[in-house]
Structure 1
Amino acid sequence: MLRKRGLYALLGLMLYGCSSAESEMAGGNIEAVNHTLNAINWLSVNGYRADGGGGSSCCIIMPTKWRPGLMAHIEWEVDPDPFADAPPLGTDEFRAFMVKHKTNYQQHHATVEIPEWPGTESCGLKVHFLVCNKIKVTTSCWGYGSPRNPIKEPLEMKEPTVCPK
């Protein structure tokens, strides 16, 4: 736990600049875009937790001006069988089912560089969840599916039999 806090502190320092002009910060939303058939239960970016179900969650603090070396440490939880046949909600059978079902949840983490954005036009941070537990992030103001959005992978991608290393 102490190691994890140290990593967050280090990553936090990477987000903060040394000079006052470079250290101006602003709040933005975290958005999850799921390209897989799994469910993303939750995610966190540099310790800021968000809903993994899609849409935007408030908030992440980011510099108003991009600079090299900005990193995002992302943690997330996957439900690999989100459409499992469950007993009726609220029953003892359902509660027992969920205890067993949650043992299949998988936690992942990755640290990625935050891509450059022009001027002060960052529109928060969008985390794209891809097959093989890979992620991509963007600060683009253009929504997924727009020709100007840099992430082009399709939605509802099927997990390959073998993931590349």
Structure 2
Amino acid sequence: TGALIPVDVLKKLIALADEYDFVIAADECYSELYFDEQTPPPGLLSACVELGRKDFKRCVVFHSLSKRSNLPGLRSGFVAGDADILKGFLLYRTYHGCAMPVQTQLASIAAWNDEVHVRANRALYREKFDAVLEILSPVLDVQRPDGSFYLWPN
């Protein structure tokens, strides 16, 4: 839907994960596609930090360049969070994944280190949403999402 989860809700989810012993696996691949440049959305790990947690227990986030940088074929991303969970993931990735080619690694480093193109992408999305909403709003119940690259009509 493109809805953003407020930091207070993330903190409640973390408390519930502690109480009921479950893992929160957050797909944050869309986290840099938001429209308010002054207020980036909170992430799960930043909510942990606000709670004073440095171990990120029961929290794992997934991120990639595919949405952030409009690079869906590059297949470059990362997993971060609870070190105990990540140990198992690293073991799996080491023996069941394929190595990333050097060219992909270099392109990934360049994309991760460049925020200018990410801000430019958000500006282009704003322009596209403005144009599409002007056309669709008179005939369809649709609003600009808080963060996304697609519209979700009601």
Give the alignment's TM-score, normalised by structure 1. 0.25
Counting strand residues as a fraction of each chain, which structure ranks higher?
A: 1
